[in-house]
Each structure stands twice: as structure tokens, then as C-alpha cells.
């Protein structure tokens, strides 16, 4: 499988603290790779390095063969790398549908002037974007909250809307940071099914940080384990599950 994302010997330092220490990993199109480890292991810092939110001290990050580790978050997102955040980021006063439409802005902004001028083509583009947003909400079985303000949604529903918004532009690579936080068990199972569907049917490469270990084991093709900023395992879920040292250090208390 050709690498869609390649992280090569990436190190991130904050002053005298090495948060990520020469970590390498790859994610292919249609592959789900989970990044796990105890709190403080460097998972989110590595995510931030890939998405351009922190500077890479050493090493290289490439997407589709192009170096992206010196680009801004906006430039990286424009190339097709989209992510969610642990603390969300929805606009509370906007409806779920409107939040997803914000994610589609790169497709409709170029027509915004025409829309304001009342052009038929621009109105049709807006209508098409709205249909697509509703279809995405339906995929996650939250279409019934499309017209509900995000601030009035449950925590789990907000997480789902955030993921839908990240998917709105059909990115080749999706970074999911703790997507199962706040989800009830049935929604967690639903999320797992959607993740697998996105990878298998749409060929989206997915890198996720997740503490819900059963979800990790059920959806991932590979699991990368970090500890103190270093990679200590990179293998299929069944191999990681059978590794006693990994189980005791990272999974036994999950």
C-alpha cells in the first residue's frame, strides 16, 4: 500500500523538553491507523506536527510525496489533510447543518459573490452544498438534528457534527483526535462502523488518537504505541493486543 502520509523521524522539542522523539509512521489510502499511549506520551503533539499546529524540530512529514512540515495549518488543510480536536470547535449559535456548511466553504466561497447577486448558478451551488451536508449528517444518523443549534446538542452529537464537518470536503486524509469522547456505547459502535466505511468505501486514510481501546482494536489496521515521545510498537491490533508489555503499560488500565 502506497503511503498517503509519511512521518519520518519526526522530533518535536519545546525548549529542553522532547515531546516527540524521532517517530516514524505511515498511513495509506483506505487505511486506519490508531495512535495510542498514556497521557503525556506525545500523541497530540505528533498530531499537531502533522497538521502544522506545532513546528517540527527534526524530521520530515510528507503528504502524497510532498513535504508539508513547513506549511501553515491552513495550507496543509487545503491540500486535503483535515482534523478534529479534543475540545471540539463548533459554532454554538449555528445549527448542525450550518456548521457542516462551514466545512464546505472552500467549495462555495468562490460563488458567494454570485450568490449575493442572485445568480441562478450560485443558488444551485448553495442548494447542492446543503443537500450534501444533509446527506453527510444522515450517514452518521444525526440528520434529525440538522436544524438544531450546536449549543443545544449533546456532547456525543457535537462530536459527530465535528467529524461530519471535517469530512465535508471529502479529504484524502482525516486526523481524528479522541473521536469517541462523550459518546454513548451505541454511538461509539456507530462511529466505529462509519470509520471503517469511510476507509473501505471512500479510500480515506485515517489516523486517530483514541483511549477507547476496544474501538481502536475493532477499527484499526495498525496500532502505533507511543511512550515518553518514543514509538514502542507499530503492528496490527492482534499483535499489539498480545504484547504483554504493551498491555501492561498502555492498555491494562484503559
**Tens-place pLDDT, residues 68-112:** 999 999 999 999 999 988 766 789 999 999 999 988 865 555 455
254 pLDDT tier (thresholds 50, 70, 90): very low
**Alpha-carbon span 123 to 132, nearest angstrom:** 14
Q: Evaluate whether residue 235 is within a structural domain.
A: yes
* Same domain membership, residue 11 and residue 67: yes
- All cell numbers assigned to 124: 444551485
**Alpha-carbon span 92 to 90, nearest angstrom:** 6
Q: Which residue has the cell 517517530?
A: 23
Segments forming the whole domain that contains residue 189: 3-80+171-251
Number of domains in the chain: 2
* Same domain membership, residue 178 and residue 73: yes
**Alpha-carbon span 61 to 67, nearest angstrom:** 6
- Given a cut of 60, whether residue 251 has pLDDT beyond it is no
**pLDDT attached to residue 127:** 85
* Same domain membership, residue 176 and residue 144: no
| pTM (predicted TM-score) | 0.87
Q: Evaluate whether residue 130 is within a structural domain.
A: yes
* Same domain membership, residue 240 and residue 131: no
**Alpha-carbon span 220 to 190, nearest angstrom:** 15
Q: Evaluate whether residue 89 is within a structural domain.
A: no
113-127, 130-144, 191-205: range with lowest mean pLDDT = 113-127
Q: Evaluate whether residue 86 is within a structural domain.
A: no
**Alpha-carbon span 232 to 226, nearest angstrom:** 6
**Alpha-carbon span 144 to 148, nearest angstrom:** 8
Q: Evaluate whether residue 33 is within a structural domain.
A: yes
113 pLDDT tier (thresholds 50, 70, 90): low
Q: Indicate the pairing of strand 173-177 with strand 81-83.
A: parallel
The Cβ-side half-sphere exposure at 51, using a 13 Å CA radius, reads 20
**pLDDT attached to residue 88:** 67
Q: Evaluate whether residue 197 is within a structural domain.
A: yes
% of the chain surpassing 90 pLDDT: 61
CB 28 within 8 A of CB 65: no
* Same domain membership, residue 191 and residue 123: no
**pLDDT attached to residue 175:** 96
* Same domain membership, residue 181 and residue 71: yes
Amino acid at each position: 500500500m502506497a503511503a498517503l502520509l509519511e512521518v519520518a523521524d519526526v522530533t518535536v522539542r519545546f525548549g529542553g523538553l522532547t515531546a516527540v522523539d524521532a517517530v516514524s509512521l505511515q498511513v495509506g489510502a483506505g487505511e486506519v491507523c490508531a495512535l495510542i499511549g498514556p497521557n503525556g506520551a506525545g500523541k497530540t503533539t505528533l498530531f499537531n506536527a502533522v497538521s502544522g499546529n506545532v513546528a517540527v524540530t527534526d524530521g520530515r512529514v510528507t503528504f502524497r510525496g510532498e513535504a508539508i512540515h513547513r506549511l501553515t495549518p491552513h495550507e496543509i488543510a487545503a491540500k486535503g489533510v483535515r482534523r478534529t480536536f479534543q475540545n471540539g470547535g463548533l459554532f454554538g449559535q449555528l445549527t448542525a447543518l450550518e456548521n457542516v456548511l462551514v466545512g464546505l466553504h472552500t467549495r462555495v466561497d468562490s460563488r458567494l459573490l454570485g450568490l449575493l447577486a442572485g445568480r441562478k448558478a450560485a443558488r444551485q451551488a448553495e442548494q447542492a452544498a446543503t443537500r450534501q451536508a444533509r446527506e453527510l449528517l444522515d450517514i452518521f444518523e444525526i440528520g434529525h438534528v440538522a436544524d438544531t443549534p450546536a449549543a443545544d446538542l449533546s456532547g456525543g452529537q457535537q462530536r459527530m457534527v465535528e467529524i461530519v464537518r471535517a469530512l465535508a470536503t471529502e479529504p484524502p486524509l482525516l486526523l481524528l483526535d479522541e473521536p469517541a469522547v462523550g459518546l454513548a456505547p451505541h454511538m461509539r459502535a456507530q462511529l466505529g462502523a462509519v470509520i471503517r466505511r469511510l476507509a473501505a468505501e471512500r479510500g480515506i486514510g485515517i489516523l486517530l488518537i483514541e483511549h477507547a481501546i476496544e474501538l481502536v482494536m475493532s477499527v484499526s489496521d495498525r496500532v502505533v504505541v507511543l511512550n515518553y515521545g518514543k514509538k514502542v510498537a507499530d503492528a496490527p491490533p492482534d499483535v499489539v493486543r498480545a504484547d504483554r508489555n504493551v498491555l501492561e503499560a498502555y492498555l491494562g488500565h484503559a
